[in-house]
Structure 1
Amino acid sequence: MKITNIILALLTLTMLLACGQKQPKENEKHDKSHSESTMTGIWLRMSPQGPVKMEFKKTGKVTIDFGNDQAVEVSSNYTINGDTVEFTDVEGEMCPAPGTYLMDETPYYLAFDVLNDTCNGRIKTTSGFWTKPNFRELQETLDKQIAANPEAKLQLMRGRLYMATGNSEKARKDFSAFIAKDSSNARVFINRAATFFPGDMQSVLADCERAIALDPENKNAWFLRGLALYEMDRKKEACESFSKAIELGFSVLRIAEKQKCAEYWDIENTP
């Protein structure tokens, strides 16, 4: 089935769906200075539209370069608070309000998952897996470690690094290897589901169902499930899935999927 333009536009988000849904606990929050954060520096990822570069500076500013062509399209201030980061756009293609994201930071990849943002453009730009410019060296390091000791967590990190570089097939193999050893992690089922886009919606749906069984409040699983169902021409079920994602905090879908679901939603009372 031919994939819709809306899915292509949102694929940056749905391919990556990086972090979990747990909100950081208040007693775990702590401010971290920009100079202390290992997030400082350049991060890259491959999107359906081409390469994207994000540079976090010690001054508390982050810039985004679409196409990695040395032209900055968006400049924002960022504030780190424990495992979350808040972006406030100050220049370029600006969003009117700040956005808050959960971070997953490792030596091999950096990931963001939206917690509170009403700006669809920033969600698509920011959400997902990023890696360092020396990603080939990082991959070689993981290759050697996995060859010596194929631990599930190492295969998971390599799979997410592959996602950042746009290699879905290799990522899927690593996610499947992880799942064979540990089938209790909903996030990994979502990660693997994203690797089946756009050709195998049945597998996307199957992995989303398994993720929801493990974590019924995972908004990303409900969202990705909705995209798969819509492409399978099960539109009413898709819109019910989008509604569940909105109920769980994916508020931007009220706008992003409004046209798709106008027939099924009571727009005034959509959660």
Structure 2
Amino acid sequence: MLLLGEKRDGGLYTQEEIEIARAAGERLIDAQASAAMARRLMELQRQRLAESQVIDQRTRRVLHDDVLPQLHTALLMLQAGGAQPDAISLLSDTHRQIANLLHTLPPTATPELARLGLLNALRHAIENEFASAFDQVDWQIEPATAHLAERLSPLAAEVCFYAAREAVRNAARYGRPGTNTRPFQLTVAACWPNGLELTISDNGVGMGFAATSQGSGQGLALHSTLMAVIGGTLTASSAPGAGTHITLALPNAAETEPAQPLTNSFGGATFAA
């Protein structure tokens, strides 16, 4: 809705001023529509993450609580009854494959995020999943920054966690020099100038070389999109032989805040949508 009040000088609006006011009102309406679409997209992303976690947990539960015990019971019954060796061998192979599947499923991050917080959960993931990938890991995080990071919304923290873990995974998989004898080092730094800035750096071969030779970088493109959905950014800088630097930025707007109404003024005109 566009309301044009009296002009401050008491004069009449010209046709050009009316057209400018109409264009400004349409721009504000478009901005509000874009904000509404972004909120809906965030809700869909939150729902997708939740559904993915539910499916993962359900798979683990069914395999561990139902399938494996049944297969184990079948093995015992066949062995007790003198069944054919081929059947026992087949069931044994199935049992082993499912057990291996349970071990290879990636661990869910949400419980660790809720219990440890974003930065501590990232430290836990690096120390447990990538302990042998780097010769040295340097942490440059002040306690105050870790405390402020806990203010992030659960969705923002989870998206940032997975993006950071993807950066670490790429460094571990593609970054180690093949012939260089220098120690392969990972550096994790975080600060809070105007929101969280998390930097993942390594001194490896560089993403340019790794992407050309081994195909890395596609996962970072996906996480860059997810960061944009929550109002953040993912930037990468790298050069062959000079390592890779990935920076995740989550401004204060990434925290859970109530939406503010759109208001503006033009002369004596007030716009509201």
TM-score range, shorter chain: under 0.3
Q: Which has the higher helix share?
A: 2
Query: Which one has the largest radius of gyration?
Result: 2
Q: Which protein has greater RCO, CA pairs closer than 8 Å, 6+ apart?
A: 2
